[in-house]
Amino acid sequence: MKKVIIKPGCISCGACEFYAPDVFEVTDVSRIKKDADIKKNKEKIDKAIQGCPVCVIKWSGDE
């Protein structure tokens, strides 16, 4: 299964947490929650990827 990665450059805008609150947690920068169910949240993650203003969220393998 694909993994979600966050590349350096997050500006902590909070958009990913807004779109997929069960997956992303924004503190100083955005992080993937340890217990995140990636498969279940696939569509929300896609929205977060599209909504990230600096395009740092990626599916691994999509780089």
Q: Which residues bind ligand SF4 (CB under 6 A)?
A: 6, 10-16, 26, 30, 52-54, 56-57
Comparing CB distances to ligand SF4, the nearer of 4 and 39 is 4
In angstroms, give the least distance from the CB of 1 to ligand SF4. Answer: 21
DSSP string, 18-31: HH-TTTEEESSSEE
In angstroms, give the least distance from the CB of 53 to ligand SF4. Answer: 6
The dihedrals phi and psi of 50, each to the nearest 5 degrees, come to -70, -30
Comparing CB distances to ligand SF4, the nearer of 27 and 61 is 27
